[in-house]
Amino acid sequence: MSFVVDALRGNPELAIFLTIALGFLIGRVKIGSFSLGTVVGCLLAGVLIGQLDIKVPPAVKAVFFDLFLFTTGYKVGPQFFRALKRDAIPQVALTVVLCVTCLLTAWGFAKLLGYDVGTAAGLLAGAFSESTVIGTAGEAIQRLNRPQSERTALVNNIPVAYAVTYLVGTASLVWFLPKIGPRLMGINLKETAAEMAAQSTGSVSEVEGVVSAARLFDVRTYRVANEQFIGKTVAEIEALPRVARAYLLRVRSSGSVREPEPGLVIRAGDVVAVMARQEVHAQHGDLIGPEVSDPSLLDIPIESLDVVLTNRSLDGRSLADLAGREFARGVFLAKLMRAGLAMPIKPESQVNRGDVLSLIGPLSAVERAAEKLGYPDRRTSATDMVFVGLGIFLGGLVGLLSVVIGGIPLTLTASGGALIMGLAFGWLRSAYPFFGRIPEPAIWIFDTLGLCMFIGIVGLGAGPSFISGLKATGLSLVGVGLVSALLPHTLGILFGRYVLKMNPLIVLGACAGAGTITAALRAIQDEAQSSVPALGYTVPYAIGNILLTAWGPILVALMAR
């Protein structure tokens, strides 16, 4: 045993990886439907192993934190800059009100109860589930004109308060937003979501070409027997009223395989290959004629391709609009992603620059549509590390600049600058997607592992003083953390619904986004049995990340006055 202890003390990198392993293991433990999550798991694992008094160089923690913040900005950059447009003003206003209330609540309780600046920062980080505050507030504390021993003690108090208030805040909000939030607005969440779904269904022509991401697509062959189609050209057939979107991909006529040119006449007995949703085949395939087996006719190259929307003229257009355009012929939409979240696919759903559209259809048709929509994001495992490294470097330089407001010197810190540059570089990637690619697996590593490494190292450093700090403030922090988490979201719901007159489902999604609580968004969607709340999540999430991260050094400045 002494060998292991000596190895961990002499080789702190081993302690870090042990912390990550234990942290992810703890994060998997579930109590009912609630789990601690990997972030809290790594913090607790770090505190546990930190009892051995492990010393980790500060630069290691900073590297992972900067990588995490840059990636966070990169993911939400397109939505952040879109929030500057007029149509996003209500969501921006709600986010600002909620986040400012978060800051004032944490500051007010800290002053009222006599908390030190480290505990106040931990309260802000935990009650509002914004782990980045741990880093930005910690860097600001290290810049205070106080003895090093006092600064170290204050920094070590941050994870103590964070651990307590994170558990209370997250658990309460995952319950509060889907259960109590609708009552504050006087609605039944499921009924409201169902009404919206019914209203958005529209007529057959309105939903043509709009396909749920959950639907499967298929190509089948039929022998033409319906007189409605016999003697008509392909163009005439496709112009007929349809119960759903379907396209002829190939035709076998008189024994020869032909492409479906608009002027091609369909004759009785011809075999046609038709692409449509699977349920459309099952329900309406016999309208053409009997289904037959023709493997050679089905030997059609089908492509599934992600396309980043960059065409300015299509920004803000509805899916129904896109489906009716000539370039969309034969192409189906399988999924619509925005800032890493799947968006609901409805006729009126709008697409934004930077959205990723997953297209499926014949190879030539998909390539044609991709050319009109934007940039084909073909799968590759390569990450543009020039882009990542330069972004963090430039962001760090920007973050080190300081301004004096009211006699208080304020700075973003190098880490905060990495977040800001991540936003800018994320937007650049969406506008000019031929450079700066970070594949999803790499984003997961930079984002999840970067944060967990940082939090784990924070736990290692705080380990020796964690228990004593918890005894000093633990009980009071439980109640304070609960009130601090619920009060801003209560105000946000009331402000969004009754002042801004926002859709109630969008209000709940916006509150989850402004508070950067993805778990709450999932709970809201599950309760509503609808993905509509996600429409209100992305813009507030982008802005909320920025504001709550910036509150770290601002809270330190307020507490240090």
Confidence band (pLDDT; 50, 70, 90) for 78? confident
pLDDT tens-digit readout, 355-390: 889 999 899 899 999 999 998 988 778 899 999 999
At 243 the pLDDT is 66
Q: Does 200 score more than 60 pLDDT?
A: no
pLDDT score for 406: 59
> What number is the average pLDDT over the span 334-348?
81
Can you tell me the mean pLDDT for 20-37? Answer: 83
348, 318 Cβ separation under 8 angstroms: yes
Surface-to-core class of residue 30, CB atoms within 10 Å of its CB (0-12 exposed, 13-18 middle, 19+ buried): exposed
Torsion-angle region of 11 (φ positive above 0: left; ψ -120 to 50: alpha; else: beta):
beta
Q: What separation, in Å, do the N-terminal and C-terminal C-alpha atoms of the chain show? A: 48
Per-residue pLDDT tens over the stretch 221-268: 999 998 888 998 888 887 776 667 788 889 998 888 898 888 899 999
What percentage of the chain reaches a pLDDT higher than 90?
A: 32
Nearest to 210 by CA among 277, 283, 275: 277
Q: Which one has a higher pLDDT value, 36 or 10?
A: 10
Average pLDDT over residues 195-202: 55
Question: pLDDT digit string (tens) for 307-329?
Answer: 999 898 999 899 989 988 989 88
Residue spans of the domains in the chain: they are 58-193+383-450+477-560, 204-376
Residue 476 is predicted with a pLDDT of 80
Assess whether pLDDT exceeds 70 at residue 405: no
pLDDT at 245: 79
pLDDT of 409 reads 61
Sheet strand arrangement including 374-376: 341-342, 332-338, 356-362, 302-309, 374-376
Higher-scoring residue by pLDDT: 82, 229 = 229
Least confident of 137-151, 204-218, 357-371, 385-399: 204-218
Considering only residues 396 and 341, tell me which one the structure prediction assigns the higher pLDDT: 396
Q: How far is CA 241 from CA 140, 212, 487, in A?
A: 65, 21, 53
pLDDT on residue 86: 65
Write a three-state SS string for 24-45: HHHHHCEECCEECHHHHHHHHH
DSSP H/E element including 370: helix 363-373
The pLDDT of residue 202 is: 38
pLDDT tier, 7 (very low <50, low <70, confident <90, very high otherwise): very high
pLDDT in tens, 61-72: 889 989 988 998
Of 444 and 39, the structure prediction assigns the larger pLDDT to 444
Q: pLDDT band for 524, please (50, 70, 90 cuts).
A: confident
In this predicted structure, the answer to whether residue 215 has a pLDDT above a threshold of 60 is no
Are residues 454 and 61 in contact, defined by beta-carbon separation less than 8 angstroms?
Answer: yes
Q: Is the pLDDT of residue 539 over 90?
A: no
Where helices occur in 143-245 by DSSP H, the ranges are: 148-179, 181-184, 189-201, 204-207, 234-239
Q: Are 303 and 378 in contact (CB under 8 A)?
A: no
What does the block give as tokens for 449? 């592992």
**CA 22/CA 432 separation, integer angstroms:** 40
Cα(209)–Cα(223) distance, integer angstroms:
24
Residue 433: pLDDT above 80?
Answer: no
* 90-99, 278-287, 384-393: the lowest-pLDDT one: 278-287
The residue with greater pLDDT, 273 or 239, is 273
For residue 487, pLDDT beyond 60: yes
Alpha-carbon dihedral sign for residues 188, 174, 66, 339: negative
| In the predicted structure, residue 425 carries a pLDDT above the cut 60 | yes
Place 190 in a pLDDT band, splitting at 50, 70 and 90.
Answer: confident
- For 426, the 3-state DSSP assignment is helix
Mean pLDDT of 99-116: 94
Mean pLDDT, the chain, whole residue set: 85
Split at pLDDT 50, 70, 90, the class of 198 is: low
pLDDT band at 207 (very low <50, low <70, confident <90, very high): very low
In order, the DSSP letters of 94-158 are: HHHHHHHHHHHHHHHHHHHHT--HHHHHHHHHHHTT-THHHHHHHHHHHTSSS-HHHHHHHHHHH
**CA–CA separation, 371 vs 352, rounded Å?**
17
The C-alpha atoms of residue 51 and residue 164 are separated, in whole angstroms, by 18
pLDDT band at 116; cut points 50, 70, 90? very high
Q: Quote the pLDDT of residue 208.
A: 41
Averaged pLDDT for residues 157-166: 85
Range list of β-strands (E), 327-420 = 332-338, 341-342, 356-362, 374-376, 402-405, 408-411
* Range with lowest mean pLDDT among 205-214, 300-309, 323-332, 339-348: 205-214
Alpha carbons within 13 A on the beta-carbon side of 529: 7
Per 3-state DSSP, the chain is made up of helix, strand and coil in percentages (nearest 5) of: 60, 10, 25
Q: Report the pLDDT value the prediction gives residue 123, as an integer from 0 to 100.
A: 93
With 90 as the cut, is the pLDDT of residue 499 above it?
Answer: yes
Residue pLDDT, tens place only, 283-301: 888 888 898 988 889 888 9
- Whether 404 has a pLDDT exceeding 80, the answer reads no
**pLDDT of 144 higher than 80:** yes
pLDDT above 90 for 47: no
Confidence of residue 430 (pLDDT cuts 50, 70, 90): confident
Mean pLDDT of 418-438: 85
Mean pLDDT, residues 423-428? 88
Q: Hey, what CATH class is 204-376 in?
A: alpha beta
